[in-house]
Amino acid sequence: MPRVAYVNGRYESLADAAVNVEDRGYQFADGIYEVCLLVDGRFWDEDGHFDRMERSLSELSMSMPMSRPALKAVIAALLRKNRLKNALVYVQVTRGVAARNHAFPPDGTVPSIVITAKPYNLAANEALASRGVGVLTMSDQRWARVDIKTVSLLPNCLAKQAAREAGAFEAWLVRDGKVTEGASSNAWIVNGKGELITHPLGHEILGGITRQTAIRCAEEMQMKVVERAFTVAEAQRAHEAFITAATLLVMPVVSIDGRPVGSGKPGPVAQRLREAYLRRCSEIAGERPRAIA
């Protein structure tokens, strides 16, 4: 079955789904995005993703292209058309199509909205988590406002590619000697006292929705979470490490720059947190109506 995408009011086959070459997303990376997970037809961390989407738009002086209920209805329709219940949904909103000019286009320029959906394989994610992943550290070359979830992702792509070429799964980005986050995930370590350490919110990291929920899960389990930056050396001495992202959930990190973290296997804290995260998301989602039946 060909995949279907939503583009500016129309459902089209993904192969035909297109935007104008003067879309500001294409010429200027002038737009934002979200990636949300739906399991069994229900949004995980629904409010978090929609809240962040509104914030990202607001930081770029843009507004939501449609109401939240309308957006949810479109996503539900898109999942039905794609016959998906476990899905990663990608939503991108840009400042619209306008004659090329760095300054914003005239008031009234209509934002562009694109939504795609693809199957999400929880079993494959479980398998990856049972092995854990390796990360490669490198210089954080991104701009000063990575707290906004924009499509200005070239540095993230270059970092991810460098990691993959070195045989690592993810890049850990280092600014002023401290790990900020991964190329597409938040970075965590667990020290000898069992404390979970992750970079504080601010302009230097993207405030992950999975990160936020994972903090709640940890605190509910009486684990201590310390939001502070850590060095690569500290990470390499850590008992455990892991990353969080909507697509990865809680994913154990078993090596940093080719050196094993702790035992070199997924650690017990990361595993407990992963289970708690899965439980919490499915419970909260279960209390709400399905996005699609």
> Which parts of this chain interact with a copy of itself (CB under 8 A)?
5, 7, 14-15, 17-30, 33, 60-61, 90, 92, 99-100, 102-104, 114, 116, 118, 139, 141-145, 150-158, 160-161, 163-164, 183-184
Token pair of 249 as six digits: 């959930």
Q: Closer CB to a copy of itself, residue 155 or residue 268?
A: 155
Strand, coil or helix: what is 124? helix
- Beta-bridged to residue 187, according to DSSP, are 243
- Tokens coding 89: 């949904």
Q: How far is the CB of 291 from a copy of itself (least distance, A)?
A: 21
Q: How far is the CB of 263 from a copy of itself (least distance, A)?
A: 28
Q: How far is the CB of 45 from a copy of itself (least distance, A)?
A: 19
Q: Which is nearer to a copy of itself, 99 or 293 (CB)?
A: 99
Q: Give the residue numbers marked as catalytic.
A: 149
Residue 204 is classified by DSSP as T
In whole angstroms, how far apart are CA 248 and each of 93, 132, 204?
23, 11, 21
Task: Describe the crossing of helices 209-220 and 268-286 by its angle, rounded to 10 degrees.
Answer: 100
* Pair of tokens at residue 224: 């201590």
| Tokens representing residue 6 in the block | 């939503």
How many residues would you count in the chain?
A: 293
In the bound state with a copy of itself, the residue whose beta carbon lies nearer, of 103 and 123, is: 103
CA neighbor of 32 nearest in space, from 53, 17, 61, 11: 53
At closest approach, how far in Å is the CB of 211 from a copy of itself?
18
Q: Which is nearer to a copy of itself, 114 or 285 (CB)?
A: 114
CB-based contacts of 287, cutoff 8 Å, min separation 6? none
Nearer to a copy of itself, 246 or 273 (CB): 246
Question: What are the phi and psi torsion angles at 168 (to 5°)?
Answer: -95, 160
Residue with smaller CB distance to a copy of itself, 27 or 236: 27
Q: Residue 246: helix, strand or coil by DSSP?
A: coil
- CA dihedral of residues 90, 93, 96, 100 (deg, nearest 10): -80
Contacts (Cβ under 8 Å, ≥6 apart) of 280: 213, 216, 217, 220
Cα–Cα distance between 75 and 186 in angstroms, integer?
26
> Least separation, in Å, of the C-beta of 103 and a copy of itself?
5
Q: In the complex, what is the shortest distance from the CB of residue 269 to a copy of itself, in angstroms, rounded to a whole number?
A: 27
